[in-house]
Structure 1
Amino acid sequence: MRLRKTISTISFLFAILIGNLQAQNVTFENRTAFMPQFKKSDPKKISWGYLTVPETWGANDGKTIKIAVTVLKKNATAKDSNAVVFIQGGPGASGIDNIWLWLNHPLRENNDIVLFDVRGTGYSQPRLDQGLGKKFLEILAKNQSEEEDEKQKTNAAMSCKQELINRGINLDAYNSQAVAKDLHALKTALKYKNWNVYGVSYGTYMAQVYANNFAGDVKSLLLDSPVYDISTYYVENTSNYMTSLQKVFKICKSDKTYDKQYPNLEKIYYEVIADLEKNPLTVTVDKTLIPSGTFTYNAEDFKVAVQQALYNKKLVEVIPLLIYQFHERRGESLGNLVSAFSSLLSMDYGVYYCVSCNETLPNNDFLKYQQNASQFKGLNGGISFYKSDFKVCDAWNSNRTVAAKKDNTLSNLATATYPVLVFSGEFDPITPLDNGKKVAQRFGKANYIEARTYGHVPSFTKIGYKVVESFIDNPKQKLDLNRFKEADNVKLVTGITINKGVAKTGKSIGEQDPIFLFPLATALVVMLAFIFAYLIKLIKKRYTTVQDKIVRIGITITSITGLVLFGCLLMAITKVSEQNYFILAFGLPQTFNYIFLLVLVFLGCLILTLLYYILTIKKTDARSVIFSVIFSNILLATYLLYWGIL
């Protein structure tokens, strides 16, 4: 009797569960590629689709949203359904836009790669972005006080919030708990029994919530640059940053070459902050980034620029140069940094604030943040870029019950039976080494790897790829946890000749815009053809007048110099970009100074040849041909002037 009653109860609960799932109306539909570059891609290799889920899980209001999904099919022909689902960070960054990192990733050989845009971001619908990133960049560009920056940032965020409410968006529905349910539904819709969960940055917190709630979905768990405790995510922001930066100061001080090039680096760093507080530095920037065409660096902009540089090993290597450029107020090179700010602010900030104000900021104590920041007197209150989020979320959460602290326990992770791999970067300023160690300890058994010399998300490096591939393809094997000891040491950049045009040249050529580059290519071909044709005639002495001979010799010398100059410039940009492409934002190593000398020689030859041609034009044969070659040289000079090399 008791057994029959138990079975009856289980059947009743199961029926309720099935009914609720059906009421939630979860479906998956295939569609064409989200990105135009993949419109003709083979659906057997890359598939695209939307997962339709409730906007608010558990509610029966009929409101649904669409999660954008891209699946890169594995290259191997094995029939098993092994897959890796990638959870991007931010919160608010697109996972699908990272497709370029995954197309040839070694994991794709034996695993489907599942990319998705967290609800509200990227190609998901609705998208909660209201252009906040661009507005924030324009706010940062202004010459105004920290208080005014915070006020305008808060007003912009509140305007975004009101627009979302007007669109009928439920702000409470965008958080890690909802994303975990989305992932569970996605796994079922794609018919995977379980999969390897790969989270980076804030995506590691979402991955931990998912693994905590749906342990059966997880075949293995990989967390790179993990968030340990969201209640300290902001509180310890300043000390995390300065701990990483002090490692750079130490490297510089301990090496005679570095210390000679950048003496008293730590002292200079604080002097720059003090100077910019009194005398902000205005630089010229591309109007496509800032409509005004100018960006004013104040102390807060400088601090966040250095903090962001710690994310990437190659940027770490230019930090001393960056600090000294600010110290010397070299605006001609610092204008190139604004594009980095633009990248920083490229997230969907509607989602960023929904998630941050739902689950992160309410759990962080502003007084503790201030206490943490007060340890570093010269910083004068930490980094406003992050501190301002407290004010934004105070306003965002006004009259909302969600502002109350949530239960963020991840207690189920301690009993996890699936393999776990945790990465932490040595220079990471936002999720430092200590975070990784604590996250690894959270699990019963976990592999912890300290990525020596790297910053944020070190698994996306050559060494990281190898470790990740070994772990995912055979998670039960013993990993080499010291693999990053083979990484090259940090080599601080020294001996740079500053030239703002180098970065613009590299960008223009790298974009390979045929309309922009066609005139230049034509000019170079004309110059090359002239050299071959007229050198032969000069050797055979086929010119009737001295003037005719001199002008052709002048054009030949000018054209040869121009071609050599352009070739050397391309070679230098290519070589430096292979070494550390961030150097190009400032100029070129001094070993390439001969290029700038060639520029002067080229200009000198061009001016003299043009003047001589004008003075002797009546005595010159084939004047139109000669002029076309001179014009080609002038066109090359125009490009160099436009780029800023001259």
Structure 2
Amino acid sequence: MNFCVKKIAVVVVFFFSFFTINGQNIILEDTTSFFRNWARINKDSITWKFLSVPENWNDPNSKMIKVAISVIENLSNKTNADAVVFIQGGPGASGIINIGSWVNHPLREKNDIILFDIRGTGFSKPRLCPDLGEKFLRILAKNQSKEEDEKQKVIASLSCKQDLLNRDIDIKSYHSLSVSRDLNTLKKQLGYDSWHVYGASYGTYMAQVYANTYPNDIKTLSLDSSISNISTYYTKNTDNYVHSLSKIFKKCKDDIECNKQYPNLEKAYYKTIADLKKHPITVSVDKELIESGKFTYNSEDFKIAIQQALYNRKLVEVIPLLIYQFQNRNEDALGNLVAAFASLLEMDYGVYYCVSCNEVLPNNEIYEYQKNASKFRGLDGGVSFYESDFKVCDKWNLNRQDLIMYHDLSRLSNLSFPVLIFSGEYDPITPVFNGFEVAEKFKKAYPIIGFNYGHVPGFTEIGKNVVENFINDPSQTPDSKAFKKEGELNFIGDVVINSGVSKFGNSLSQFNLFFLSPLIVALGIMLVFIFTFITKLLRKRYSTNSDKIIRTLIVLTSITGIIALVYLVLALLKVVSENYFVLAFGLPENLDYVFTLLLIFVILLVTTLLYFIIRIKMINHRSIVFSLLFSNILLVTYLFYWGII
């Protein structure tokens, strides 16, 4: 009798769930490109979609939200190709925004690539608090205490929460289990029986929750910079940071050239923290970033700047230079770094706090965080940018009646599919030992250390090849020493500091035709008249010495100016190909001849201009000469505007 009752109950629950889900009108619909002005992407075989899902999967009356989807079709034109779905991190970063890095990914040769923006982020609807990051940047820019920073951060975050409540957003429904249900539904709607799952950073935790909840959805699992234990994700934050940074200190000390140029790097780092606490550095920045046009670096900003530098190999190579630029209080060079802060804060912090306050911070103890941070006295309490999240979530969850989410991942040990795990050697947030701890959760896991790299080493060329081989042939053991074949870190030294180089590079990369058109016209005039004047000089068309001298001077000036500009562009391209972060400071010393050429150009121009003024009455066709002279002056004006000279 009891057995029959149980069977009936199971059937009732099943049918209730079935009709509830179908009653919520789940729809996968095509839409137009999310990048309407990106011609190259729109010519590719990519479809754009919205998946309508319940905001609250457990509420049959929940309103529907839209998850943005991009399906990048495989290059082999296979109709039954496997699919790789990518889960972005943050939590709160867009998975679709970096589609450019996926269209040429080697995985695409045989697999469809599925990108999506986690509910509330990127192109998904509704967005939660996309402007909260900008508010944080303005807070960081102020010259105020750590306590005041934290207070204002809490106020801004709670304002975001209130806005969400006013918009009838169910903030308790944004977490890893909801994302797992979104993914399970998306897989069915796209017609895949199962697929390969690739998670990066916080997306690795969401991927683990997904794998634990829907194990039959997954063929292989790739975890890039993985979270091993959500209950220590914050509490060990300081330890992880210092552990990674200590590797840099040791490597620089053991490197003869690095140690010579940046002696006692570790001491310089901690001394800079102490100095900035007493005497912050205020720098000028673009008003499009900060309305006031000013950004003040205090000790907390310095710590987070170095911590973020550990994420990227190219930035790791400039860490010694960066520490010394702070120590030397080089305001011009440090002003260029503010854009990096802005990019750090571009994700949707509304989603970040919904997820973090639902399932992360409540499972971490601030006492444990502070205890861990206290081990490092010179660090002065850890990194407040992360510590303040405890205070945000305390207020965010105030008077909350339900239990905070804890995802049981115990089923992972029973799963049979293979798991690839990347860990960056210098990763300050998900360090190498995280990867080995995660590997222990699975039956068949392959931890790979990204030697010489920081966060998400799977997105390097080496990592892409490793993950391609793994997904296309999961039966083969991945090459655990793949990153060993890469060259060692090359710490950047001997840089000629020039903040204008970065501004010039930005102008070229953005290429505003309206802004640059006067310069382009001026260069065209210079080229035409260089040819004209040289031809006439060779044919001895000028009868007076004044005409000969002024035209000879102006030809030399114009040629030097054009050559200097060309070499400047070539120098930028060379640095970009090697380590584009160097441009934030200037040019390597072996390229300093560019500045010498520019100086010669300015001297020649001043000489030519003075001669023109002195002998103006004796020069024929003065208007033509002046037009060429003015073109050179315009070139100098641009160089002054950029700050190169």
TM-score (ref. length: structure 1): 0.97
Give the structure 2 partner of residue 469 of structure 1: 468
> Once structures 1 and 2 are overlaid, which stretch shifts more, 19-28 or 437-446?
19-28
1:381 maps to what in 2? 381
Give 1:9 shift.
Answer: 6.5
Worse-matched range after superposition: 125-134 or 170-179: 125-134
For residues 126-174 of structure 1, the C-alpha deviation after alignment (integer angstroms, 9 at most, x for no partner) is: 1002511111101100000000000001000011110110000111010
Q: Contact 1:130 / 1:160 at 8 angstroms: preserved in 2? A: no
2:547 corresponds to which residue? 548
Partner-residue secondary structure (3-state), 1:223: strand
Deviations 1:592-620 (A, max 9, x none): 11111112211111111112112222222
Alpha-carbon deviations, 1:408-466, whole Å to 9, x = none? 22011101111110000000000000111111111011111001000000011110111
User: CA offset at residue 79 of structure 1?
Assistant: 2.6
- Residue matched to 2:576: 577
Name 2:173's counterpart in structure 1.
Answer: 173
Instruction: Please give the alpha-carbon distance, in whole angstroms, between the structure 2 residues aligned to 1:603 and 1:621.
Output: 24
Look up the match of 2:519: 520
C-alpha separation in 2, matches of 1:265 and 1:118? 40
Deviation at 1:12, TM superposition (A): 4.5
Q: Does 1:372 align with 2:372?
A: yes
Tell me if the contact between 1:24 and 1:57 (Cα under 8 Å) persists in the aligned partners: no
- Separation in 2, partners of 1:522, 1:426: 50
Say if 2:45 is the partner of 1:29.
Answer: no
Structure 2 Cα separation of the partners of residues 386 and 58 of structure 1:
32
Instruction: Say if 2:74 and 2:81, in contact at 8 Å, map to a contact too.
Output: no
How far does residue 626 in structure 1 lie from its aligned partner after superposition?
A: 1.0
Q: Is residue 216 from structure 1 mapped to residue 233 from structure 2 by the alignment?
A: no
2:259 — aligned with what? 259
Structure 2 contact 74–111 (Cα < 8 Å) conserved: yes
Counterpart CA distance in 2 for 1:39 and 1:491 is 37
Which residue of structure 1 aligns with residue 144 of structure 2?
A: 144
Paired position in structure 2 for 1:426: 425
Separation of aligned partners in 2, 1:619 and 1:72: 69
Matches within 5 A, 1:278-317: 278-317=278-317
Give the corresponding residue for 1:530.
Answer: 529
Range with greater deviation from structure 2 (486-495 or 393-402):
393-402
Q: Which moved more, 1:421-430 or 1:52-61?
A: 52-61
- Structure 2 counterpart of 1:97, which letter? I
> 1:406, CA displacement in angstroms?
2.9
Matches within 5 A, 1:376-415: 376-402=376-402, 404-415=403-414
Q: 1:119 to 1:273 in 2, by over 3 A?
A: same
Deviation at 1:568, TM superposition (A): 0.8
Confirm or deny that 1:230 pairs with 2:214.
no
Q: Sort the Cα spacing of 1:7 and 1:265 in 2 relative to 1 into closer, same or farther, 3 A.
A: closer
Distance across 2 between alignment mates of 1:552 and 1:40: 46
**Residues in 2 aligned to 1:574 and 1:32: alpha-carbon distance in whole angstroms:** 35
- Would you say the 8 A contact 1:24–1:58 is kept in 2? no
Pair 1:40–1:300, CA change in 2 (3 A): closer
> Letter of the aligned partner of 1:48 in structure 2?
W
Identity %: 55
Deviation at 1:7, TM superposition (A): 7.5
Look up the match of 2:506: 507
547 and 33 in structure 1: CA distance in 2 versus 1, 3 angstrom threshold: same
Matched, 1:200 2:200: yes
SS of 2:457's partner is coil
Deviation digits for residues 326-362 of structure 1 (CA, Å, limit 9, x no counterpart): 1111111000000000000001010000000110000
Deviation at 1:78, TM superposition (A): 2.2
RMSD of Structure 2 on Structure 1 (CA): 1.7
After the TM superposition, which of the residue ranges 356-365 and 72-81 deviates more from structure 2?
72-81
Q: Distance in 1 between matches of 2:159 and 2:607?
A: 60
Structure 1 residue matching 2:269: 3-state secondary structure: helix
Residue-by-residue CA offset, 1:261-289 (whole Å, 9 max, x unaligned):
00000001010000000000001111110
Q: How far off is 1:22 after superposition? A: 1.1
Where in structure 2 are the equivalents of 1:322-337 lying within 5 Å? 322-337=322-337
Provide the rounded CA distance (Å) in 2 between the counterparts of 1:234 and 1:545. 80
One-letter amino acid of the structure 2 residue matched with residue 516 of structure 1: F
Instruction: For structure 2, list consecutive stretches of 5 or more residues without a partner in the other structure.
Output: none
Shift of 1:478: 2.2
Q: Distance in 2 between matches of 1:512 and 1:40?
A: 17
2:592 corresponds to 1:593: yes
Matched with 1:606 is 605
The answer to whether the aligner puts 1:487 opposite 2:473 as a matched pair is no
- Structure 2 CA distance, aligned partners of 1:624 and 1:43? 49
2:126 alignment partner in structure 1: 126
SS state at 1:471 partner: helix
Conservation of the 8 A alpha-carbon contact between 2:36 and 2:42: no
| Amino acid aligned to 1:80 | N
Q: How many residues align?
A: 645
Residues 1:488 and 1:18: Cα distance change in structure 2 (over 3 Å): same
Residue number in structure 2 paired with 1:94? 94
Please say if residues 30 and 48 of structure 1, whose CA atoms lie closer than 8 Å, have aligned partners that are also in contact.
Answer: yes
Aligned to 1:164: 164
> How many Å separate the matches in 1 of 2:191 and 2:134?
39
Tell me how far 1:477 sits from its aligned partner. 1.6
Q: Deviations over 1:213-250 (max 9, x none)?
A: 00011011000000111111110000100000000000
Distance 2:474 2:40 in 1: 35
Superposition TM-score, scaled by structure 2 size: 0.98
Q: Which residue of 2 aligns with 1:557?
A: 556
Deviation of residue 639 (structure 1)?
Answer: 0.9
- In structure 2, the CA distance between the partners of 1:399 and 1:8, relative to structure 1 (3 Å rule), is closer
Amino acid at match of 1:584: L
Query: Which consecutive residues of structure 1, in runs of 5 or more, have no partner in the other structure?
Result: none
Query: Aligned equivalents of 2:493 and 2:9: distance in 1?
Result: 74
Question: In the alignment, residue 16 of structure 2 is paired with which amino acid?
Answer: I
- Whether the 8 Å contact between 2:56 and 2:62 is mirrored in structure 1 is no
- The answer as to whether partners of 1:547 and 1:616 remain within 8 angstroms in 2 is yes
Return closer, same or farther for 1:538/1:461 CA change in 2, 3 Å cut-off: same
Provide the rounded CA distance (Å) in 2 between the counterparts of 1:457 and 1:58: 34
Q: Given that residues 336 and 502 in structure 2 are in contact (C-alpha distance below 8 angstroms), is that contact kept between their aligned partners in structure 1?
A: yes
Does the aligned pair in 1 maintain the 2:121–2:127 contact within 8 Å? yes
Aligned CA distance change for structure 1 residues 594 and 44 (closer, same or farther; 3 Å): closer
Change (3 A) 1:44 1:3: farther
Write the mapping of 1:106-117 to structure 2, written as runs, cut at 5 A. 106-117=106-117
Mapped to 2, the partners of 1:205 and 1:573 lie a distance apart of 39
Match for 1:87: what amino acid?
A: I
Moved more, 124-133 or 199-208: 124-133
Distance 2:559 2:548 in 1: 16
Aligned to 2:626: 627
1:461-488 CA distance string (max 9 Å, x none): 1101110110111111222111111011
Contact 1:141–1:296 (8 Å) recurs in 2: yes
The one-letter code of the counterpart of 2:418 is P
Alignment-derived partner of residue 55 in structure 1: 55
For 1:165-205, what per-residue CA distance to the aligned partner results, in whole angstroms no more than 9, with x for missing partners?
00001110100011000101111111111111000000000
Q: For residues 481 and 163 of structure 2, what CA distance do their matches in structure 1 show?
A: 50
CA distance in 1, matches of 2:413, 2:38: 42
Contact 1:33 1:39 in 2 (8 A): no
Gap change, CA 1:492 and 1:125, over 3 Å in 2: same
